[in-house]
Amino acid sequence: MIEISNLVKFYGDKKALGGVSFKVEQGEILGFLGPNGAGKTTTMNIITGYISATSGKVTINGYDILEQPELAKKNIGYLPELPPLFLDMTVFEYLEYVSELKKVPKDIRKKQISSVMQMVHIGNVSGRLIHNLSKGYRQRVGIAQTLIGNPEVIILDEPTVGLDPNQVIEIRKLITTLSKNHTIIFSSHILSEVQAICDRVIIINNGKIVADAPTIELSAQVEGNSHYLLTVEGSMKDIQMPLRAVPGIKSVTALSEKKGLLQVDISADGNLDVRKSIFFAMARINVPILEFRSMAPSLEDVFTDITSQKK
Amino acid sequence: MFAVFKREFLSYFRNPVGWVAISLIGLISGYYFTKMLTATVSNVDISQEIDFLRSFFIILIPIITMRLFAEEKRNGTDVLLYTMPFSMKSAVLGKFLAAISLQALMLLCVFFHMIVTIALSGFVSPAAWGAIFAYMVLAALFISIGMLTSAMTENQIMSAVCCFVILLFLNMLSSIAASLSEMFKSFLKFTHLFGLSDSAIYSAGENLRKAIVWFDPYDKTSCFTSGVFKIVPLIFCLSFTFVFSYITYRVLEKKRWSQS
């Protein structure tokens, strides 16, 4: 479906991408994960033909994006981070403009627009100016735009950024629905989001792919260690030994110590539930627990985990 | 191409720009026409009116063209043009046609004045049609310049100012040429550079002036206004229009290929 080989991109002297290669099969939802500035957007811009790579090759459905751009682009719907919306148009006018640009035959244009509007639930705002729509609706209009012309591949660049939690859930649902008929590449810097939607995850950092694995495998890797945040009334000296004695705990690091309050980060084996043991260990030495919660693994943890495993 | 044209042309009327431009031209031409009509010896010359309107190009063209590409870049909507299955050339052509159509629409009030003139048993000379022709040909040339400045920046104001400066320069080209030729003549006279005779210095200065004035689009198209059709000015304007539009296309494509 999509084949990317050895993409390199320089911005002046700065290397934004250093040899990115991967393949996406038909019907897959690929999560593209990485911190800001990792090269996600650059990769997506190159795939869609918005910018060119310094070297490397992109083929979509067998068409090279640079040599047969029109044929390749027919297969792509792209939603950049900033949705390309004309604020002075109504939703319907805008979608009509996009279908004209995408050369959708005139006789099926209206029908396609209304079916797309139904799919992303914007039928009720079709006559309103985009200027007057909320951010969530604008994002949906942006997604509708990618669906016009029924392309096989849909590329979404951080589609949930800046939305409120309800809108995020709706957009995620929408992406899952779309995946039935489309191949989707979807970028994000939120780990849980990618875990929730994607079949496969590519993690990119500093312009290089650090991991490329099915989501389940990656989750297992990440869950190898679990982290807890503990705030107690006591000192590091008091609690260190008893905590270390708990089976499963790998390390205890002090985060802050102020006015007799100590905050520590406990890293433990993910396969063992150490919460009870921690509680009793603290009770035994008469150290009151003021706060105790498990921390979801952050993207940074994943990077350190994955990169350290590679070494 | 038609999609871009339609969107761009209609967007002139979704914003105040189109309305303001048309009413401005309506007001100015109306004033000029009324003045001609109500003079003690009523002498209506439509070609003069259009000639007068041409002097407002310098303000109108930057306003009409500044949005064309700058706004799309700023709002990120240019992504659509780059990632859709069609060529950037059609986008440039579509936008150019939209701007020139707005110019044509502005001339509607002049047509209205023609009808009034004929209804009052006046006479519309062929020179008027020549003037309209010159107006449109010049508009095409200037719009392509404005389009280029718009493609080169993200800032509309910047684009308008650059376009204004270029048009102002073209407007003053005859007087610039005259003063340059004077300077050149006196330079030759006082330095005795090539030991030229007075008449040779005079003709050298004159030729310099002529060479510069050759590029003056106003001077070039003045024959149309007096009712004479010549092919050279037409080719001059159209080829420069083509060149500027082509550069616009290349500037836009550069964004795709740029490695900086």
A95-116 tens-digit pLDDT? 999 999 999 999 999 999 999 9
In a domain, B195, yes or no: no
Q: Provide the pLDDT for residue A181.
A: 87
d(CA A45, CA A39): 10
Asked if B85 lies within 8 A of A50 by C-beta distance, the reply is no
pLDDT of residue A58: 92
Residue A300: which pLDDT band, with cuts at 50, 70 and 90? low
Distance CA B127, CA B145 (A): 27
Closest-CA distance of chain B to residue A89, Å: 8
Which residue in the set B77, B81, B260 is minimally distant from A11, CB to CB? Answer: B260
Which domain CATH number covers A302? Answer: 3.30.70.980
Does residue A229 share a domain with residue A204? no
Is residue B235 assigned to a domain?
no
- Let me know if residue B180 belongs to a domain: no
In the prediction, which pLDDT does B226 show?
A: 81
CA B246 – CA B113 distance, rounded (Å): 36
pLDDT greater than 60 at residue A311: no
pLDDT value for B48? 87
Lowest mean pLDDT among A24-28, A250-254, B193-197, B212-216: B193-197
Would an 8 Å CB–CB cutoff place A49 in contact with chain B?
yes
Return residues 83-102 of A near B (CB < 8 Å): 83-89, 97-98, 100-102
Of A50, A87, A145, the CB nearest to B82: A50
For B109-131, the pLDDT digits (tens) are 899 999 998 898 888 888 888 89
Whether residue A245 sits in one domain with residue A111: no
Pair (A217, A229) in one structural domain: no
Average model confidence (pLDDT) across chain A: 87
User: Mind listing the pLDDT tens digit for each residue in A172-209?
Assistant: 888 888 888 899 998 988 877 888 888 888 988 888 88
Question: Model confidence over A223-239: pLDDT tens digits?
Answer: 667 788 889 998 888 88
Residue of A nearest to B2 (CA): A100
A70 and chain B: CB distance < 8 Å anywhere?
yes
Q: Taking CB atoms and an 8 Å limit, are B83 and A85 in contact across chains?
A: no
Same domain, yes or no: A18 and A77: yes
Query: Do B80 and A84 lie within an 8 Å CB cutoff?
Result: yes
pLDDT at A307 over 70: no
Q: Do A11 and B259 touch (CB under 8 A)?
A: yes
**Inter-chain touch A88–B256, beta carbons under 8 Å:** no
Same domain for A194 and A284, yes or no, is no
Q: Region A81-89: what's the mean pLDDT?
A: 92
Residues of chain B with Cβ-Cβ distance to A88 below 8 Å are 11, 14-15
How much is the pTM? Answer: 0.85
- By three-state DSSP, how is residue A227 classified? strand
- The residue range of the domain holding B69 is 2-171+242-253
Residue A195 and residue A119 share a domain: yes
pLDDT per residue over A130-160, tens digit each? 999 998 899 999 999 999 999 999 999 998 8
Q: How distant is the Cα of A100 from the closest Cα of chain B, in angstroms?
A: 6
pLDDT of residue B31: 93
pLDDT, position A199? 86
How close is the nearest chain A Cα to the Cα of B83, in Å? 6
CATH classification at residue A80: 3.40.50.300
Considering only CA atoms, which of B83, B91, B69, B7 is closest in space to residue A79?
B83
Alpha helices (runs of H) in chain A, residue ranges in sequence order: 40-47, 69-74, 91-101, 106-119, 135-147, 165-178, 191-197, 215-222, 236-245, 275-284, 299-310
Number of CB atoms found within 10 A of residue A169's CB: 13
Q: Given A52, A80, A101, which is nearest B76 (Cβ)? A: A80
Is A62 found in the same domain as A210? yes
Average the pLDDT over each of B13-27, B130-144, B189-203, B204-218 and give the range with the smallest value.
Answer: B189-203
As a whole number of angstroms, the distance between CA B57 and CA B252 comes to 25
Amino acid letter for position B21: A
What is the number of structural domains in chain B?
1
Q: Is B198 inside any structural domain?
A: no
Per-residue tokens: A63: 């068409």
Looking at the complex, report in whole angstroms how far the Cα of residue A26 sits from the nearest Cα belonging to chain B: 21
Residues A73-100 have a mean pLDDT of: 93
Domain boundary among A201, A221, A241: A221
Q: Which residue has the higher pLDDT, B191 or A42?
A: A42
| Residue of chain B minimizing CA distance to A68 | B85
**A186 and A146 within one domain:** yes
CB pairs < 8 Å spanning A and B: 75
- Predicted confidence at residue A217, as pLDDT, reads 77
In this complex, is the C-beta atom of B19 within 8 Å of any C-beta atom belonging to chain A? no
Q: Are residues A49 and A161 in the same domain?
A: yes
Number of helices (H), then strands (E), in chain B? 15, 0
Listed by number, the residues of chain B in 43-72 with a beta carbon closer than 8 Å to a beta carbon of chain A are: none
CB of B254 less than 8 A from some CB of A: no
Q: Of A221, A254, A276, which marks where a domain is finished?
A: A221
Query: Per the structure, how many domains does chain A have?
Result: 2
What pLDDT shows up at residue B197? 84
Mean pLDDT lowest among B84-98, B107-121, B188-202: B188-202
Matching residue, tokens 């967007």:
B11
Mean pLDDT of A49-61: 91
Same-domain pairing of A50 and A28: yes
Task: Return d(Cα B90, Cα B96) in angstroms, integer.
Answer: 10
Q: State what percent of residues in chain A have pLDDT above 70.
A: 93
Q: In terms of domains, do A243 and A122 share one?
A: no
**Minimum-distance CB partner of A84 among B77, B85, B259:** B77
A50: its two tokens: 């918005």
> For A88, which of B4, B15, B82 is closest by C-beta distance?
B15
Distance from CA of B84 to the nearest CA of A (A): 6
Q: Which residue of B has its CA nearest to A96?
A: B3
The pLDDT of residue A299 is above 80: no
Q: What is the pLDDT of residue B44?
A: 81
Q: Is A3 exposed, middle or buried (0-12, 13-18, 19+ CB in 10 A)?
A: middle
B193 assigned to some structural domain: no
Contacts of B258 in chain A (CB under 8 A): 51
pLDDT at A47: 92
Domain boundary among A221, A241, A272: A221
- Note whether A53 and A187 are same-domain residues: yes
| B214 lies within 8 A of chain A by CB | no
Residue A26: give the domain boundaries.
Answer: 2-221
Give the pLDDT of residue A126.
92
Question: Which residue in B79, B87, B260 has the most chain A C-beta atoms within 10 A of its own C-beta, making it the best mutation to test that interface?
Answer: B79
Domain membership flag for residue B124: yes
Q: Which pLDDT tens digit goes with each residue over B43-54?
A: 788 888 888 898
Please tell me the distance from the alpha carbon of residue A114 to that of residue A111, in angstroms, as a whole number.
Answer: 5
